[in-house]
Amino acid sequence: MRIGVLGRTSSEDQAERGTIQNQVEFATKYCDLHQLEIAEWYLDDGISGTIPLEQRPAGARLHEDAKAGRIDLILIYKLDRLGRSARIILNAVYELEQYGVKIRSMTEPFDTGDPSGRFLLTILAGVADLERETILERMWYGANRAARAGKWLGGIVPFGYFMNEDGFLAVNEEPLPGTYMSEADVVRLIYKLLVEQHYSTIKTADYLNALSVPTAYTRDSRMVKHGKRKVKTSGIWRPSRVRAIVISTTYKGLHQYGKRSAKKREIIEREVPAIVSVDIWERAQQVLHENQIEAPRNSRHNYLLRGLIKCGICGLTYQGITYKGPGNKPKNYYVCGGKTAYRGPLLGKCKSKNVPQDWIENLIWNDCVEFIQNPEKALEELAASMKGKKSDAGEIAEEIKSIQHTIDNKEIEKQSILDLYRRTIINGFDVEIQLQKIGQEKQTLENRIKELKRQADNEDDLAYKYDSAEELLRILQQKLNNDPPFEVKREIVKTLVKEIVINTDFTDGSRPRATVTAKYAFFNGVACTDVPAAITVIR
């Protein structure tokens, strides 16, 4: 009988400790005792048992030998050496038996050469699967507890940090090679450029490259895959990398463990040393949002009302798009974002009406100019609007303060749970459940704070910079002089226009009819009839 021995270790660490050699020695003694002659060894060092047998180096060789009829019996130390899941074990046994190869465990009472052995094999495969899942679950809970304690559990350390001797993240203030700045200084510079000088991510990346600031890939000498080969990166800053740093909550002191995992898992938020303040971080997010709205991207035209027009059907924002008009001449429209993006079989594409750019921009701009030049009737309303904005800002600040106090109490609750665990009053499983609940409640409260801050930031226009409507009006009148450029017009419109909503009516049975409702900070006004066909305007 031609006999082969299959051995496997599940990690490189096990291979270094010589566990594969233990299996070899045991098989040698086993065959001497039973007077068996070993024809071939199939040893996979540091190969996971979750990989199918035919995809392992030695396993693939075993498949070829079995197919060629060079092996009759395979000896294994234990069933889990064949695989770590029931599916992989049973598939491997089935494939080998198709070639007439039997499997025998040297430490377990089964042999696929008889029916009872095959039945026991199925049970043992299930036990091996259960054992693996149990180990993974224990490791999962252990990793979660370590993560909540703030431990860094592997992976690439964020730019600006290093892992200290105790396994925690610490701010990296060591100077980078060839520059006077540390990684933390680079992060602070990125936020400063966005918040104070309103740099775009493209302009920021260009500036960092001009300073010859090394990237994280350059720092770690990491390689990237180019086709089938790994090559060194170009070592330059890209806008996407700048944006990733700006939107990461880690830099304001809140790291989200498990966010990058491909598996569905709980996101654990834990405190880490902050590099920038929460206020600066939030202001940077607002600048990113404003840059996104203002960015012309590939457009060749300026759209005065970009980001201000909403669809009354689907609620999405209208975008500026150019179509070919009569004689193939380009004509610009504002088009609902729901018409350019498919939203699933139930919603489909939005059927709202397009609005000509020139017409609606002239309408809104003329209203703004009329108010600035003849403000007597509307000045009182503007003053009330400014007062209302500032009053709303105070209410928002009070609500944020109250929510933050509740969040602080959640931390006290967390410590109470951990105290009960240390006193062995509750077990680790109960701790896990309670901490998950506290984490979910905290996340809900923090999301509300973000909504309130966004609401306050959206009101951050010229009206906040002046104490009275008369002072604001005087500034606006100065800006109107000498045919203002697009940027000044845009600033005026953002200050005076509350919202523009386009509702499309299909009840007529012929062409859809659009109603454009423009709400201003200075006017609640009357209906306008001097409009294109099938469009009604209410200011």
What does the pLDDT read at residue 301?
75
pLDDT < 50: residue spans in the chain: 13, 15, 224, 226-229, 231, 298, 459-465, 524-531, 533-535, 539
Assigned token pair, 33: 């005792």
Task: Write out the H or E segment, with its range, that includes residue 440.
Answer: helix 428-458
Q: How high does pLDDT run on average in the chain?
A: 77
305 and 361 Cβ atoms separated by less than 8 Å: yes
**DSSP secondary structure, 333-385, as one string:** EEEEGGGTS---TTT-S--PPPEEHHHHHHHHHHHHHHHHHS-TTTHHHHHHH
Q: Which CATH class is domain 161-294?
A: alpha beta
3-146: CATH architecture: 3-Layer(aba) Sandwich (3.40)
CA dist., res. 355 & res. 364, Å (int): 13
Helices (H), 55-167: 57-67, 86-98, 115-148
pLDDT tens-digit series, residues 400-445? 887 788 788 888 888 888 888 777 788 777 777 888 778 777 777 7
348 and 358 Cβ atoms separated by less than 8 Å: no
- Residue 254's SS3 state is strand
Crossing angle (nearest 10°) for helices 115-148 and 428-458: 50
Domain locations in the chain as residue ranges: 3-146, 161-294, 309-538
pLDDT tens-digit series, residues 437-475? 787 777 777 877 876 776 666 544 444 445 566 777 778
Sheet holding 513-520, edge to edge: 309-311, 497-505, 513-520, 535-538, 527-528
CA dist., res. 85 & res. 246, Å (int): 42
Backbone angles phi, psi at 114, to 5 degrees: -135, 160
Does this model's pTM top 0.75? My answer is no
287 alpha-carbon distance from chain centroid: 19
β 497-505/309-311 pair status: parallel
What does the pLDDT read at residue 231?
47
What does the pLDDT read at residue 294?
55
CA dist., res. 537 & res. 360, Å (int): 10
Q: Which residues pair with 168 in a beta bridge?
A: 151
CA dist., res. 387 & res. 467, Å (int): 9
